[in-house]
Amino acid sequence: MRTPFVAGNWKMNTTVAEAEKLVLEMLDGLGRIGGIEKVLCPPFVSLVAIEMMLKGSTIKLGAQNMHFETKGAYTGEISPLMLSDMCEFVILGHSERRHYFGETDEIVNKKVKTALTGGLKPILCIGERLEEKEAGKTEEVLSRQVRNALDGIRPGGPSGGSESRQTQDEHMTARLVIAYEPVWAIGTGKAATGEEAATTIHFIRGIVADLWTEALAQDLRVLYGGSVTSANIGEFVSQPVIDGALVGGASLKAEEFVGIVERTAEIRRA
């Protein structure tokens, strides 16, 4: 059984004061909901303050990005070493990083590797653009994104490995979460249908089964993201292959986000 998972990606929104206020507004509501992993991903500058506020709660913290090197002359960048003290998760390969900041599959692959070896759990984002969907290329795009992002990351290690190495790597691969976020659904109010998302997520698990093993693919959590609200979340999480959501806009409203987490936990419990 996969534990359901809902993360809020606040993107480039909220000052530190606004972030603290938002956390205060959702802390009690989220704290009351069990049987689900709840993750907040505020901007970097708010991580320290929010980590303090979340101490002793069941709410986890994630970053929205990181560099693939652990330290060095990379002005303005944040390394996994700086994050791993306070964050459990890190969003990697978000379409906004890919499209506005030129992140290639190769860069995403380096980031996933460094995150895993640095003790962070990557939320790897993949998704096709509208023109790719219209050209019937969704599966081709997703297959390329998953295969490239996970290149060289496999149970048994890059060169086969000993039995203990294998156990270690299986543990490592189990820390990955994939978020399927069709680019045409992000911030547009035009979410995929539950059925559409389920079919695509089933396909994504198939790629992971092909790369790793069927058992590892079955353990892997795959989320849907793109215009998720408390009104439509049920459509997604009532599909057994969809383990939860990566929420953008609606995660900036306390009541909405708590509602999304509540509904997911409720449906998954049933």
Shortest distance (Å) from residue 101 CB to ligand 13P: 14
- 227, 232, 239, 264: residue in contact with ligand 13P (rule CB under 6 A): 227
244 binds ligand 13P (CB under 6 A): no
What are residue 247's DSSP bridge partners? Answer: 8
Shortest distance (Å) from residue 227 CB to ligand 13P: 4
Assess whether 235 carries a catalytic annotation.
Answer: no
14 binds ligand 13P (CB under 6 A): no
93 binds ligand 13P (CB under 6 A): no
Can you spell out the DSSP letters for the chain? -PPPEEEEE--S---HHHHHHHHHHHHHHHHT--SSEEEEE--GGGHHHHHHHHTTSSEEEEES---SSSSSS-TT---HHHHTTT-SEEEES-HHHHHHS---HHHHHHHHHHHHHTT-EEEEEE---HHHHHTT-HHHHHHHHHHHHTTT--TT-TT---HHHHHHHHHHHTT-EEEE--GGGTTTS-PPPHHHHHHHHHHHHHHHHHHS-HHHHHHSEEEEESS--TTTHHHHHTSTT--EEEESGGGGSHHHHHHHHHHHHHHHH-
Q: Whose Cβ is closer to ligand 13P: residue 129's or residue 165's?
A: 129
249 binds ligand 13P (CB under 6 A): yes
**Looking at 129-137, 138-146, 180-188, 255-263, which segment touches ligand 13P (CB under 6 A)?**
180-188
Compute how many other C-beta atoms are within 10 angstroms of the C-beta atom of residue 246: 28
Q: Whose Cβ is closer to ligand 13P: residue 19's or residue 250's?
A: 250
Q: Whose Cβ is closer to ligand 13P: residue 150's or residue 247's?
A: 247
Shortest distance (Å) from residue 249 CB to ligand 13P: 3
Question: Cα–Cα distance between 195 and 201 in angstroms, integer?
Answer: 10
- 24, 187, 195, 218: residue in contact with ligand 13P (rule CB under 6 A): 187
**Looking at 23-31, 137-145, 148-156, 181-189, which segment touches ligand 13P (CB under 6 A)?**
181-189
246 binds ligand 13P (CB under 6 A): yes
Angle at 250 between CA 248 and CA 251, to 5 degrees: 70
Assess whether 171 carries a catalytic annotation.
Answer: no
235 binds ligand 13P (CB under 6 A): no
**Looking at 108-116, 139-147, 223-231, 262-270, which segment touches ligand 13P (CB under 6 A)?**
223-231
Which residues are designated catalytic? 94, 181
The residue ranges that bind ligand 13P (CB under 6 A) are: 9, 94, 181, 186-187, 225-228, 246-250
